[in-house]
Structure 1
């Protein structure tokens, strides 16, 4: 599991010693990550921006509590997700989906329409604007327990261990939710691929980010 590098640790030490103006240098690499994490829960750009800023300020207020057991970015994402869930309860209490009461439990069974997951979409297809828009829309349709895992792993490229730590679940749970998220993504985008007549067996090119 990743820990802060020497430069990050030194920044944190200096900020805690009183050089608070250095906080921007610390959070700069993670601002987009915080926004994406907030948006994965709130599904509204303005709310996500507000939430990300609130989380960044909260992280500063509680920086002394950061124990360095993970990277600062992972800690910030965890704070952001918690803030987003609290904000969602206030803004749209009727629409809030509990992580423990999603439409599919860990013991439930999701039967995909295909046996391959969403990553087998051809890379040249992913580069098309309309396909990226469908992917973005499909992510927001995932149940929250799957959407969070999907965003952390397949959008932010967090590893399994870090994702588990951020969400406070086991690595086995992360793997289960991630598989179901990928299969559901595949089912949601399959009609588009069939309609566009561009599907092939070429696998998803690792590292290509359709959310750019």
Structure 2
């Protein structure tokens, strides 16, 4: 199914739901359930709380569906609701101290070359190993919130830099800087552990 067709199907489902056919809401959100939960889990680092936030995000999306505007993707709107719910819970718990980058010179676009080209270049046969997936997930969860949310939105949810900037109310250059820093933090965290697993013997760490 093409992206255009998918958008048209979403629009039809939303119209039907707003007209009273509430049963279609589950079909509307079905493709995004995993992404919403993954986003919540990456922010909260607790499976039970992530499930609660995901459910609350879906409930809020249902209650506010009439406010959705087709000038953005439904998935982007849904992830935005999830992000706001996760942030609210973190603020209530006071477990995460949000770092500030206000006034940082390199937020104006002066970025040193990234040493880590792209974490997604880890070969699939490596990621298929459960222990490697666990290491990667823990590393992402340990990122400070301002870097973790940019990384998850850009590299996991595969949103464009502009979409991430709009969602987080940041400049494009700020998003790029935070993504750059997140990747460097992951590099620092991942390389020693992957090397200790002797993955370098097959040249899997040459891209670091």
TM bucket normalised to smaller: 0.7 to 0.9
Question: Which one has more relative contact order, counting CA pairs under 8 Å at least 6 apart?
Answer: 1
Q: Which residue of 1 aligns with 2:175?
A: 174
Structure 1 partner of 2:116: 116
Q: Is the 8 A contact 1:122 1:202 kept in 2?
A: no
Partner of 1:36: 38
Does the CA contact (< 8 Å) of 1:135 and 1:189 recur in 2? yes
Change (3 A) 1:31 1:119: closer
2:62 is the alignment partner of 1:63: no
Hey, what does 1:75 align to over in structure 2? Answer: 77
Deviation of the 1:172 alpha carbon: 2.0
**For 1:74 and 1:203, how far apart are their aligned partners in 2?**
34
* C-alpha deviation, 1:201, in angstroms: 5.9
1:81-121 alpha-carbon deviations (Å, 9 max, x no partner):
1011111222x21x2233x637x957489999x82344454
Report the counterpart of residue 97 of structure 1 in structure 2: 97
Secondary structure at the aligned position of 2:193 is classed as helix
Residues 38 and 48, structure 1, Cα contact 8 Å, conserved in 2: yes
CA distance 1:159–1:110, shift in 2 (3 Å): closer
Question: What is the aligned partner in structure 2 of residue 210 from structure 1?
Answer: none
- Deviation by residue 1:125-150 (Cα, 9 ceiling, x = unmatched): 33222111110110011111111111
- Is residue 119–residue 203 contact of structure 1 (8 Å, CA) maintained in 2? no
Normalising to structure 2: TM-score of the pair? 0.83
Higher helix share: 2
Distance in 1, Cα, partners of 2:197 & 2:30: 39
Aligned length: 199
TM-score normalised over the length of structure 1? 0.82
**Contact preservation (8 Å) 2:41, 2:50:** yes
- Name stretches of at least 5 consecutive residues in structure 1 with no aligned partner: 205-212
Q: Residues 201, 24 of structure 1: CA spacing in aligned structure 2 closer, same or farther, 3 A cutoff?
A: closer
